[in-house]
Amino acid sequence: MWMTSVLVFDTDTAFARHVAELLGGGGSACVVAAEPDDARRLLATGGFSVFLFGCAEGPPCPLGLLDSARRLAPHMGVILMVRPDQVRLSIQCMKRGIDDDILIPFDMDSMLRKVAAVAQRRRLVPPPPVADRDAPGSHDAS
């Protein structure tokens, strides 16, 4: 059976670690990124099927990290963990291409199902077309 690998980031690192432990108990391989730069470095490895992303109310949410996720790992699924007062954030993230969101507090079975569904959908997405090296305009101007 294929194991889901999840990168977890939340500005509340203790919460992110707790979520990763719960997901790990459900059979997912999880890594927690403590800082946005750590998350970007890990995203660049391409080793994750799902990016579970959230931010606490305190600091501004690093939406650039979401943009980086889409650029660095376009076939990876992205799920926003959204707090009850973050409807506007959820809308912003949907516009930036997240696959789904889940309201905190969440039922762990619901989270496991959502992670599995997003990972499965993303596995079925065909890869982006590769530019034809012989096509006009594809050669370097060297």
The string of DSSP codes covering 49-95 is SEEEEE--SSSPP-HHHHHHHHHH-TTSEEEEEE-TT-HHHHHHHHH
Task: Flag whether 75 is in a domain.
Answer: yes
Rounded CA gap, 47 and 7, in Å?
A: 9
Model-level pTM?
Answer: 0.82
Residue 138 lies in a domain: no
CATH number at 59 reads 3.40.50.2300
Q: What is the pLDDT of residues 58-100, one digit of tens each?
A: 667 888 899 999 899 998 999 999 999 998 889 999 999 899 9
Kindly state whether residue 140 falls inside one of the protein's structural domains.
no
Domain count, the chain: 1
Asked if the structure places residue 95 within a domain, the reply is yes
Q: How confident is the model over 90-111, as pLDDT tens digits? A: 999 999 989 999 999 999 899 9
> Tokens at residue 56, please?
């606490």
The string over 68-91, giving b where at least 16 C-beta atoms fall within 10 Å of a residue's C-beta and e elsewhere, is bbeebbeebbbbbbbbeebeebee
Q: How is residue 102 written in tokens?
A: 């889940």
Q: For residue 62, tell me if it sits in a domain.
A: yes
Q: Note the pLDDT of residue 138.
A: 44
What is the span of the domain harbouring residue 79? 29-102+115-124
